[in-house]
Amino acid sequence: MSNQTLMILMPTVLLFATLGVIWLMKQANTLREEIVAGVRYGMPISLRHRWIIFSNDWVGFKFFCLGPMAVLSLAYLRIGQGASDPDLQLVAYSSAGVGGAGLFFIAVLGVSDLVFIVSALRNAKSG
């Protein structure tokens, strides 16, 4: 693959990966609100069911994208290390930096949400 093709392909892949991550985060945030409120699709749900949704659905949505984002960032680093063209290195390292920053913020905000949800569920009345 030519350097010009890689320079176009790398940010494009990062853009679509970011859009996928944004969709996953939106789904996780919707689930978070349902778990904390105890209402899903307009119907009240039991505390036990809220714990199940939290452990089976929310955790997966929130943290699933960490793996692919890490792989994508590492791949960009490897491309940058192996590239001889300085422009290609710049695009690769920039893409890796954006992916790494996204990975960091997803992890930090995920842990924050995790603590919030567990606290809300522990303080909720059984029902």
pLDDT digits (tens, 9 = 90+) for 45-76: 999 999 999 999 998 888 887 888 888 899 89
Task: Give 44's Cβ-side CA count (13 Å radius).
Answer: 5
Q: pLDDT value at position 24?
A: 86
Question: Cβ neighbours of residue 66 under 8 Å, at least 6 residues apart?
Answer: 103, 106, 107, 110
> Helices 3-37 and 86-123, interaxial angle, to 10°?
10
Helix axes 3-37, 66-82, angle to 10 degrees: 160
Q: How far does the chain reach from its first CA to its final CA, in angstroms?
A: 59
More confident residue, 93 or 11: 93
Evaluate if residue 1 carries a pLDDT over 80: no
| Residue 9 pLDDT grade (very low, low, confident, very high; cuts 50, 70, 90) | confident
